[in-house]
Amino acid sequence: MKKNIVTIFALLLTIISCAQTETFDIAIYKAPKGWEKTTKEGVVSYSTSDESKGSYCIISIYASSATVGNAGEEFMDEWKEFVATPFEITQDPETEKIEDDGWEIISGGANFTSNEMSNLALLTTFVGYGRTTSVLSLTNDESHQKDIEDFLSNIDIKKTATKTTSINSTAPKTNSAATTSTATTTSFKPGNNLEGVWMAIHLKKSYYDKVPSGTVKWITFFDNGRVAKLLPDDGMDKYNKNNPEIGYYSISNGKASLQWFKEVAPFAITFKTKDQIQFQEPYSSDTYFRCKPVDGVRLNGTWTSYNNINDPELDDNSKNRSMITLKQDGSFIDYGMFADDYSAPVPAGSGTYDISNFTLMLHYINGTVKQTAFTGSLGLDVKTNNSMIYIHRLAFLKRNK
């Protein structure tokens, strides 16, 4: 299917505010007649389809956010969030740019294959007056090109402030939460709001809930817009964050949403605080706490996964025990934590350790290297509160001796 950006841009030059019938955020537009309207947090969409031909067209308007970079950087951020990540498009979009009435308008498109059919994704991003907003068009039928052109030719973007240059317009865009602009709301980007590991303890149990109360759960938000409902066994360093079986998340205008499967509509992530979130789960909505970074941590003590930290067996040197000593000088003693690991058993031993990226790396003196998941408890900082730590997703309690 051949895209026609030039035609669309010829029409974009005629942007006017006439006879509009709908308003969303800072966009005023004429809704496609007879199309189904869907409104979710941060986006409004219009769709139509023909089952006999297997064709469809979807036009989505996204809520505006504060402009942080220049127009090109804003477009590529929007492209990554709304197009490249969810549709796994690796090719760079073909783009065109115009300026009209104080707005810099960039449109870019790329073809992608889904369900063995060729599809077109066309993103049009408006940057100006301290705001950025985008319109995404998706279709698998050339006959809908006119529908897209008609929609874009009748859209008007409201000026929200006096015309100003973009913040850091000549510098690379950053994810600093401290960035300010003339906008009235803050747009949180994945890099400064959700990215990282979060942890919850399952408490709200219902009749049909088969997950025992007290079960510890993790969810990991990656920097590429993907999300996994887990903390990888061997930590974060080796995990494939492009795993096709994990979900997606997005953030727009300070609001976040989560989508486990492309066929299922996304749902909202609710921020109780900047470090506590909730989202829709089967039978419950437990609170997840942002895990504090553990990079470079040095601990001093002995921890065991035994419930009874004074169990006499822990002092029986003739047995393998789930226990480890971590010292401030970066050395460790493993008393047989991984000796019975069916997938990769490691005999008891000693050596040096490093902790970073929620990963505990054990370097044994015999040359063996064991990498495993590591976090503190919920939102506690292990540097100051380490009476309970989690190794390989198991709770380890600090011994008194």
Distance CA 95, CA 41 (A): 28
Question: Are residues 283 and 310 located together in one domain of the fold?
Answer: no
Per-residue pLDDT tens digits for 109-125: 888 877 667 888 899 99
Residue 180: Cβ within 10 Å count: 11
Question: Are residues 220 and 357 located together in one domain of the fold?
Answer: no
Which of 290, 324, 343 corresponds to the end of one domain? 290
Half-sphere exposure of 66 (CA within 13 A, CB side): 21
Query: Which pLDDT does position 291 carry in this prediction?
Result: 92
Question: Are residues 15 and 148 located together in one domain of the fold?
Answer: yes
Q: Is 175 inside a domain boundary?
A: no
Reduced to 3 states, what is the DSSP secondary structure of residue 255? Answer: strand
Reduced to 3 states, what is the DSSP secondary structure of residue 395? Answer: strand
Q: Is 322 inside a domain boundary?
A: yes
Which of 134, 157, 180 corresponds to the end of one domain? 157
Residue-averaged pLDDT of the chain: 80
Question: Are residues 313 and 281 located together in one domain of the fold?
Answer: no
Question: Are residues 143 and 277 located together in one domain of the fold?
Answer: no
Per-residue pLDDT tens digits for 233-262: 888 877 888 888 899 888 876 678 888 887
**Which stretch of 159-168, 227-236, 330-339, 366-375 has the lowest confidence by average pLDDT?**
159-168
State the residue range of the domain holding 394.
Answer: 301-398
In this model, does residue 383 exceed pLDDT 60?
A: yes
Q: Is 174 inside a domain boundary?
A: no
Could you tell me which residue, 335 or 286, shows the higher pLDDT?
335
Question: Are residues 107 and 218 located together in one domain of the fold?
Answer: no
Query: Which pLDDT does position 207 carry in this prediction?
Result: 52
Question: Are residues 135 and 238 located together in one domain of the fold?
Answer: no
Query: Which pLDDT does position 343 carry in this prediction?
Result: 76
Which of 290, 315, 349 corresponds to the end of one domain? 290
Q: Please give the DSSP secondary-structure letter assigned to residue 30.
A: P
Average pLDDT over residues 211-225: 84
CATH number assigned to the domain comprising residue 213: 2.40.128
Could you tell me which residue, 13 or 221, shows the higher pLDDT?
221
Please name the residues in contact with 227: beta carbons below 8 A apart, sequence gap of 6 or more: 219, 220, 221, 246, 247, 248, 249, 258
Average pLDDT over residues 309-338: 92
Q: Is 170 inside a domain boundary?
A: no
CATH number assigned to the domain comprising residue 74: 3.40.1000.10
Question: Are residues 35 and 140 located together in one domain of the fold?
Answer: yes
Distance CA 396, CA 391 (A): 7
Could you tell me which residue, 8 or 307, shows the higher pLDDT?
307
Domain total in the chain: 3
In this model, does residue 86 exceed pLDDT 50?
A: yes
In this model, does residue 10 exceed pLDDT 90?
A: no
What are the φ and ψ backbone dihedral angles of 79, each rounded to 5 degrees?
-60, -45
